[in-house]
Amino acid sequence: MLFLSKKEVPLKEIIPDGYVDIHSHLLPGIDDGVKTIYQSAYILEQFENLGIKKIITTPHVIQQVWPNSSKIITEKLEKLKRVLPSLGISKIELQASAEYMMDDLFYQRIKDNDILPLHKNYLLVEMSTFSAPINLNEILFEIKLAGYIPILAHPERYTFYQNDLKKYDELKESGFLFQLNLLSFSGYYGDQIKAFAKKLVDHDYIDFTGSDVHNYHQLGILQKGFSSKMAEKITTLMNKNKVFA
């Protein structure tokens, strides 16, 4: 009997040179990501070993839970960067932006131009996984008026759109770019999201990728890599992040 190999290719072999990760929660204690500087440093060290060139880490900014100010994020980044060399982490570039929930606080921040862009005029935004904001068009209008390009984090996770590609066409046409979570390909969020992630990739909806790593557990899953069938496709996709270098 012939057994087909289902071997996983480790992430280290899939990651292209110069990869920039644009989605993670690695500033300690300000959201549901890492809790200590030690945890940040460990994950950054692993990322460095994977050959990642730069991390733009993106703590949550959510009005009801983590209303992090630009100042808090910047201070946390500086504090972390001060200790990294003494822990032997010196190659990987570390920057901070935010993953902005498109809520009333974000709407106000956009109007006040109190924003930490991801890179140039790109912004990482998210919606609740239960429903889209009722004033989505109004928020998008303000984003564009302020001169930013919104990148929607993990479009594959908004199950309320019921995997309807027409909804995603509308979002694209209205000006959103899409950032897929690599963890979705690992099945971390379930088989349905994994299948939809593949569909979005196969139909060329995805502009960028991100790890969205919050903790050691997710890092471990990511490091295992992906099926050999998908490996090449994922490398091609990851190459698109070079615009953030």
Residue 18 DSSP class: T
The three-state secondary structure class of 170 is helix
Instruction: Show Cβ contacts of residue 175 under 8 Å, excluding neighbours closer than 6 positions.
Output: 140, 143, 144, 149, 150
Give the DSSP letter of residue 15.
S
Cβ atoms of residues 233 and 204 within 8 Å: no
The reply on whether position 212 binds Fe ion by CB under 5 A is yes
- Shortest Å distance, C-beta 6 to Fe ion: 29
C-beta closer to Fe ion: residue 9 or 127: 127
Of residues 97-116, which lie at the interface with Fe ion (CB under 5 A)? 99
Nearer of residues 99 and 207 to Fe ion, judged by Cβ: 99
User: Stretches 96-104, 141-149, 189-197, 199-207: which one binds Fe ion (CB under 5 A)?
Assistant: 96-104
Q: How far is the CB of 54 from Fe ion (least distance, A)?
A: 17
Provide the minimum distance between the beta carbon of 210 and Fe ion in the complex, in angstroms, as a whole number: 8
Does 31 bind Fe ion (CB under 5 A)? Our answer is: no
Neighbours of 134 (CB within 10 A): 8
Q: Which is nearer to Fe ion, 9 or 19 (CB)?
A: 19
Min separation Cβ 100 and Fe ion, Å: 11
Query: Residue 62 phi/psi, 5° resolution?
Result: -135, 120
Dihedral sign for Cα 217, 95, 193, 202, please: negative
Beta strands 226-227 and 8-9, pairing class: antiparallel
Query: At closest approach, how far in Å is the CB of 67 from Fe ion?
Result: 16
Tokens 């590609």 correspond to 165
Q: Which two tokens stand for residue 135?
A: 């004033």
Q: Which is nearer to Fe ion, 21 or 212 (CB)?
A: 212
Least Å distance, CB 212 to Fe ion, is 4
21 binds Fe ion (CB under 5 A): no
Question: Which residues of this chain interact with Fe ion, rule CB under 5 A?
Answer: 99, 212
